[in-house]
Structure 1
């Protein structure tokens, strides 16, 4: 096995890892007390460790304040699990997640899906090798092969490729070594530096080839795919704490579909890349919408029903 990058534990903890960004503190009532309904607390993931990467925090704050008429505070958290825990614990009101971590969160019974966007039949994940790699297909993977995954709660960076590998008869720890890099960009770093032989990720990143993007540091033709997963029934979901006030919930039910709309696709950049174009969101979806993820996970011998 090659020398791994530090693995994430996938624990539902935030601690000191939170980095606060965006606008100021809590609003106050006339008597000086905090007025929670006047503040929207939004948890989001950083796009990259690169300080020059464009993270549309200001755009999220500006647009969400416009649509809600309330102060918006954005908190960047380190991984999917931290978003789930932040919302579940009531530290944040809302967080945008891909399908599998949304299913994980909903399965706790302590987090609601406020709005969900249906997925598509397009592959949700692809597994890449460097062009000069001797690995030509999934059949060439051996117990010495190291595969980099982004996050233990990532749809395109773990669950979907794990399902694909399982369908090919490949099991982690037996047929290959797994490495949790901590992010899609770190998986590419591991691939580029020889710490991983394969990196599994979302196809949206491969479309950045040749753009000198810190999210995908390869030129066209420098990588190739050895396998693609099936599509996902849900592409994205906005998660909320079920204990938030009815007033705040109603405001967010109106604002969130407006925020993540075609009108704002350019302004929100990569946060909209996973949103299928021309598909209407589902408002307050039933938990059954996420059941296919549980079924897919069971095929890969990953039980998400008890996670969280």
Structure 2
């Protein structure tokens, strides 16, 4: 179900927290925040978004097993409904590790005091594209006035932050003027969901990662020739970050970092599922270009998440 722009920030936050509590309360030991000696957690819980194949795939299950083998601590995967749920779970101490996008990293460091474990490298550049159906009459962003536009997730870099900046540049509008330009604005909850919504005529245009269309086309779900790019952003830099809770013992953080830096040799299927070729150490400054784009929107992370 798409998230309509008319939901208030308070309603969205309450819904997210309720959903998170329901999911975690049914996860047995995963709902516990207890730690053993010297702050070592009894369970390492990893929060991430669902794969295109479903809620959790074999490569994610393998990740949990590999973390258990590397640390000697049982690991479990927590599949979130959206990026904000991962951030809130980190802040509440309900998960130890979270995999989110570059913009999500900025929000998580501010709201949850999360730290960078590693970040991904894809081996190929990516950006945001504004897509319409090939058979539509829309040739430019200006043709979308009064039409239905679909973003991905409020905390998504390529599905919200960069599409907004691209639309602002193309239309010469401020961020707070975009929603009145379109007939409706909503969030799909996933790049794949946005593409499928466009395919099924449930949206007139979408903002998504340039990597998503060829990925879904390769799986046979869509055909690339059925879509047309009418605008695109500058390349996105920074890579997807893997974050950890700041109170984890340094010895455990070191073991986790060593595992992930070599993870492309252990679980290439997982790396492919997150659109990465490998993980590298990275630094906070790697995300400064994302901060620059976010600043141009003239909205705080809290305001962006409440859209």
TM-score (norm 1): 0.80
Counterpart in 2 of 1:122?
125
User: Residues 90-129 of structure 1 correspond to what in structure 2 (within 5 A)?
Assistant: 90-108=93-111, 110-117=113-120, 122-129=125-132
Task: Write out per-residue CA displacement over residues 21-64 of structure 1, whole angstroms, 9 at most, x where no aligned residue.
Answer: xx9847xxxxxx9634353211111124857x846321211222
- Alignment partner of 1:62 is 2:65: yes
Runs of 4+ more than 6 Å apart: 305-308
Look up the SS of the partner of 2:246 in the other structure. coil
Q: State the alpha-carbon separation in 1 of the partners of residues 259 and 53 from structure 2.
A: 29
Counterpart in 1 of 2:197?
190
- Alignment partner of 1:160 is 2:159: no
- In structure 2, the CA distance between the partners of 1:11 and 1:231, relative to structure 1 (3 Å rule), is farther
User: Residues 141-290 of structure 1 correspond to what in structure 2 (within 5 A)?
Assistant: 141-142=144-145, 144-168=146-170, 169-170=172-173, 171-176=177-182, 177-213=184-220, 217-259=221-263, 261=264, 263-271=266-274, 273=275, 275=276, 277=277, 281-283=280-282, 285-286=283-284, 288-290=285-287
Contact preservation (8 Å) 1:234, 1:290: yes
Counterpart in 1 of 2:139?
136
User: How far did 1:97 drift?
Assistant: 1.2
> Normalized per residue, which structure has more helix?
2
User: How far did 1:280 drift?
Assistant: 6.1
Q: State the alpha-carbon separation in 1 of the partners of residues 23 and 60 from structure 2.
A: 12
- In structure 2, the CA distance between the partners of 1:241 and 1:223, relative to structure 1 (3 Å rule), is same
Counterpart in 1 of 2:13?
11
CA RMSD of aligned residues (A): 3.2
Listed as ranges, the gaps of 5+ residues in structure 2 are none
